């Protein structure tokens, strides 16, 4: 994962900055609980306690104990690695 920038969920200001950049012309909505971005018909939510959920037309993803996110802004992607599971959200073009 050389092209990804590692961002711990505990570094909340970095998480929100990266997600706002990933949202681009989409929407970013932040609350006391977390931040959700909407790009086209896809959403990606991260809460301060490490819950991640994503919804796209053909699939969805949820994980409750994420400690680190990996961002690749050149590809418009954020990756979740959790033991044997991994998921990549790519902002629709």
Question: The domain containing residue 27 runs over which residues?
Answer: 5-90
What was the pLDDT predicted at 1? 62
Res 3 pLDDT > 90: no
Burial annotation 30-43 (CB, 10 A radius, 16+ → b, else e) = eeeebbbbbbeebb
What was the pLDDT predicted at 57? 87
| Segment 44-71, tens digit of pLDDT | 999 999 999 999 988 899 988 899 999 9
| 70 closest CA partner among 13, 23, 1 | 1
Q: Which helix (H) or strand (E) holds 91?
A: none
Single pTM value for the model: 0.92
Q: Is 44 within 8 Å of 56 (Cβ atoms)?
A: no
Give dist(CA 20, CA 35) in Å, integer: 9
> What domain count does the chain have?
1
């Amino acid at each position: 994962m050389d092209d990804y920038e590692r961002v711990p969920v505990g570094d909340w200001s970095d998480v929100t900055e990266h997600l706002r950049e990933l949202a681009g012309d989409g929407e970013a909505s932040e609350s006391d609980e977390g931040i959700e971005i909407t790009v086209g018909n896809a959403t990606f939510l991260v809460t301060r306690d490490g819950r991640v959920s994503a919804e796209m037309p053909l699939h969805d993803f949820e994980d409750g104990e994420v400690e680190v996110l990996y961002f690749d802004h050149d590809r418009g992607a954020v990756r979740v690695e959790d033991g044997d599971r991994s998921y990549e959200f790519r902002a629709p073009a």
